[in-house]
A and B are shown apart, each in its own frame.
Chain A
Amino acid sequence: MIFEGKTHKYGRDVDTDVIIPARYLNTTVADELAAHCMEDIDKDFIGRVEPGDIIVAEENFGCGSSREQAPVAIKASGVSCVVAASFARIFYRNAINIGLPILVCPEAALEVETGDVLKVNLDEGEVANLTRDKVYRADRFPDFMQEIVADGGLMNHVKKRMAEA
């Protein structure tokens, strides 16, 4: 899977309360959640974001609450993938489970700025910064998780295994 898009860059410890505040957790409709994505950290994000854009952040992205509505909101806003120096553990699982591609890449987090155009190659574990003509190496997912993503998310993976059993 390869994604190309412009960057929205954030710092460390971007928590799930700022990604999707609790006042919006009274709905499960993805588009309704998307309308408030990143609202408490960057209220202009939703006006600026275009389909295929990429979020890049520093350490501990998605920390705090387990709310799956956070990666759902990000995915529904049109963001194609999230690259971060590190991810909080519940967010990491949730993103894989709902099919939001994520990549751990500390090198990218250090250098990339908002507006940079990136080309992210998930299979190779590589991030190319087309604006700055640089390439950063990233960690690939373990095969186990690649299978979940390839099956189209956790529930499909579960269904497939139940059918095989």
Chain B
Amino acid sequence: MVAAMTITEKILARACGLEEVRSGEFINARLDLALANDITAPLAIQELEAAGIGKVWDPERIALVCDHFVPNKDIKSAEQAKRVREFARHHGITHFYDVGRMGIEHVILPEMGLVGPGDVVIGADSHTCTYGALGAFATGVGSTDLAAGMVTGEVWLRVPETMRFVYHGSTDKYVTGKDLVLDTIGRIGVDGALYSAMEFTGETIAAMPMSGRFTMCNMAIEAGGKNGIIEPDEVTMEYCSGRMRREPVLFSGDREADYASVMEIDAASIKLQVSKPHLPSNAVAAEELADITVDQVVIGSCTNGRLDDLRMAAQVLKGRKVHADVRTIVIPGSQRVYQQAMKEGLVDIFIDAEAAVSTPTCGPCLGGHMGILAAGERCVATTNRNFVGRMGHPQSEVYLAGPFVAAATAVMGHIAVPEEVLA
């Protein structure tokens, strides 16, 4: 008789052809997809070439997305992107996404149905955990692990324990997945989920749209989690239908499975959150930071660059102008998001508000380009990290928030909640 397993264990058991797996066990899992981008693929390519390996495992199951330092930030970045492009051409990589076709990797892969329930995905980017929102096992790795994956189609893994987070009740107006996950990371700390699977569940999650679920799973890594995961349901299936080219594999965890911990969270009591410099766990209620003036607001990233996020920002910015001293930058996460935002009049709202609207890119999130901060400057961003020097000068500061708070802050010039603007 097979023992009770969590959803993560079930996915991994199937991927290594075993009836069951236990947490702590080392396994070799078959990959459904291996992903890299323009700053992590070059090292992986270098490793492959140095090892003299000439062939990838399956050119259909590798995704290479140029999103971090593109459109090319400088000569060196151009050389890196070129190396990725040449590798993709040489190996016949179907899913190679370059300027004009690309978007932020963790926005476009679900959008295009390249990842789905039951999948095992590794990506040379720590926010690969985003796809757990679809009920997949997805985890970030480094370039060498990715190179090995591109060659063998497998990854060695230590099966993680699962920490269960159960969210109860309906959220307050304007409170989204971003606020819930910042609050949760604030409770457990940046290594609170070290090596563990973070399973998000409860009626609050069931009522949450896919955009909020992607946001939450995206930030599992900020608590040190191996993966974030949400069991697939009708919301998941509605999202996947018409996008995925193959049959999704649906798993749900056994109630009697061994969970390392269970945390019950009253979602209705969670206020709009902001994480102060310099840790994502430094979360407080946004209303406590009204004295913090800012120089820049960024709305976008793999965390909050989807259409829903832009709609939220537009709701606050409509008919208003951003504060004269705040550089407001909106970055749709994909070409499809950008185009749909245009059709819905959101881009007009942003430009009328005197915000800048950019082609999709990771850009300022990691201090690359498209909105770097000078010494002493502060930014409220819908991104995922606020470490020292994250968005520019080591003496700049990043405050993390959801799109509603970011947009309200852009209008007021200091950290603000939507009620201050919309009242």
A interface, CB within 8 angstroms of B: 13, 15, 17-18, 21-23, 25-28, 40-41, 59-60, 63-69, 72, 86, 88-90, 93-94, 97-98, 142, 144, 153-156, 158-159, 162
Contacts and interface: CB of A to CB of B under 8 A. Distances in A.
Contacts of A66: 40, 124-126, 140-142
A72 B47 CA distance: 13
Nearest to B151: A158
B340 interface: no
A67 B76 CA distance: 17
Interface in B372-400: 385, 387-390, 394
Given A28-B42, A88-B191, A155 B147 contact: yes
B201 interface: no
Q: Considering the complex of A and B, which 4 residue pairs feature the smallest CB-CB distances, nearest first?
A: A94-B142, A26-B76, A68-B142, A40-B389
A154 B39 contact: no
B170 interface: no
A161 B279 CA distance: 41
Nearest to B52: A159
Contacts of A67: 39-40, 142
B143 interface: yes
Q: Tell which of B144, B194, B222 has the most Cβ of chain A within 10 Å.
A: B144
B141 A26 contact: no
Interface residues of B, number: 51
Interface in B149-188: 151-152, 156
A26 B74 contact: yes
Contact of A93 (B69, B142, B194, B222): B142
Contacts of B226: 89
A33 to B, nearest CB: 10
B194 A89 contact: yes
A103 B314 CA distance: 49
B367 A89 contact: no
A60 B51 contact: no
Contacts of B151: 158, 162
A68 B51 contact: no
12 contacts: A13-B279, A17-B388, A23-B367, A25-B39, A26-B39, A59-B191, A68-B124, A86-B191, A94-B142, A94-B144, A155-B51, A158-B148
Contacts of A18: 387-389
Contact of A21 (B26, B39, B141, B389): B389
Contacts of A72: 43
A159 B125 CA distance: 24
A147 to B, nearest CB: 11
B150 to A, nearest CB: 10
B122 to A, nearest CB: 10
B51 A90 contact: no
Contacts of A28: 42-43, 46, 80
B52 to A, nearest CB: 8
A86 B190 CA distance: 12
B388 A22 contact: no
A88 B156 CA distance: 17
B40 A155 contact: no
B138 interface: no
B257 interface: no
Nearest to A142: B26
Given A26-B76, A65-B366, A156-B51, A17 B145 contact: no
A88 B144 CA distance: 17
Given A23-B367, A68-B43, A63 B224 contact: yes
B77 interface: yes
Contacts of B389: 17-18, 21, 40
Given A66-B126, A93-B141, A158 B152 contact: yes
A146 to B, nearest CB: 13
B80 A26 contact: yes
Given A68-B144, A162-B152, 15 more contacts: A22-B366, A22-B367, A26-B39, A26-B69, A26-B76, A27-B76, A60-B224, A65-B126, A68-B40, A88-B194, A90-B142, A97-B145, A154-B144, A155-B50, A156-B51
A20 B195 CA distance: 23
B89 interface: no
Contacts of B91: none
Contacts of B50: 155
Contacts of A60: 190-191, 194, 224
A142 B73 CA distance: 42
Nearest to B192: A60
A104 to B, nearest CB: 12
B388 A98 contact: no
B368 interface: yes
A159 B144 contact: no
Contacts of A154: 144-145, 147-148
